[in-house]
Amino acid sequence: MEMGNMKGLLVLMVLIGVNMGRGEAQLVENFYSGTCPNVESIVQQVVSTKFAQTFVTVPATLRLFFHDCFVEGCDASVLIASPNGDAEKDADDNISLAGDGFDTVIKAKQAVEAQCPGIVSCADILALAARDVVVLAGGSAFNVEMGRRDGLISQASRVKGNLPEPTAHLDELNSMFSRNNLTQLDMIALSGAHTVGFSHCNRVANRIYSFTPSNPVDPTLDSAYAQQLMASCPRDVDPSIAIDMDPTTPKTFDNVYYQNLVANKGLFTSDQDLFTDSQSQPTVLDFANNPGAFNAAFGNAMRKLGRVGVKTGSAGEIRRDCTAFNS
């Protein structure tokens, strides 16, 4: 081999090495084929059992995955419990994460540990569980890449500003998602997880009671839907009362969320703005009319979300207990 070619090869190898060090390139679908070949079926069985007990398993696990990945990357940092109440899960933006999501991952980890101790990360188990709940609720299957390691940092103080607010508009959403290597198309597809979500009255009160002094009800809200929300969420209701984000098919993972946006029945400003804004409206219309296009885009976006800020190789650790660092 000539010296010039040899140099070029070395440079190429160094570049590949640099890219691998950032994590993304090291996630692969069959990461555990030699060390824990049944991991997907073990997790799937636990998730199915939990799903049979409560549908909340679906939105709770999906939201847990999203909240985990957008703070410190997909590293299961959101699962850590701190006796001082200062871990990631204790932050204001995470207090409303439903316990059923945590329980799903913890139980799946215990089942995996029984067969493959110390091998599979909590971060990978959360990624698998997030896919499994989508399928159980009627969504399309997609392959999950694995090889993540569990993070060593979980602090409530590091959450603020990293998760989208219900009042966010398109430009704010796009800038937050692009920081995580996700496009506007990915963001609109991932918002479709709200087809099975629920929220709480305090998150929507401003749209039905105090939008502006001249317009107490948000004018972009369908009037019949606004009345329905007022009935579910009277002025002084307990703020923890839950309301479905998809009033039409709340327990099916489908494209009806986008049809609701077209009908001005988006629960949050951050939902409705996807249809109101001319930049994103064509994608919403496409997903509303074409379930296949939505399902394909959602699966692709979930795989990309699963690569955000991952720790691989010798970074992080493989936690024995998802709620505590090994040390």
d(CA 258, CA 251): 15
Residue in the structure block whose two tokens are 């691998």:
20
Annotated catalytic, 200? no
Tokens linked to 60: 């709770």
Catalytic residue among 67, 169, 194, 200: 67
Helix residue ranges per DSSP H, the chain: 3-21, 39-53, 57-70, 99-115, 122-136, 170-178, 184-191, 205-209, 223-232, 256-262, 269-276, 281-289, 291-305
> Half-sphere exposure of residue 40, counting CA atoms within 13 Å on the CB side?
14
Q: Which of 299, 67, 276 is nearest to 185 (CA)?
A: 299
Neighbours of 111 (CB within 10 A): 16
CA distances, 284 to each of 114, 132, 268, 269 (Å) = 44, 25, 15, 15
Q: Which residues are catalytic?
A: 67
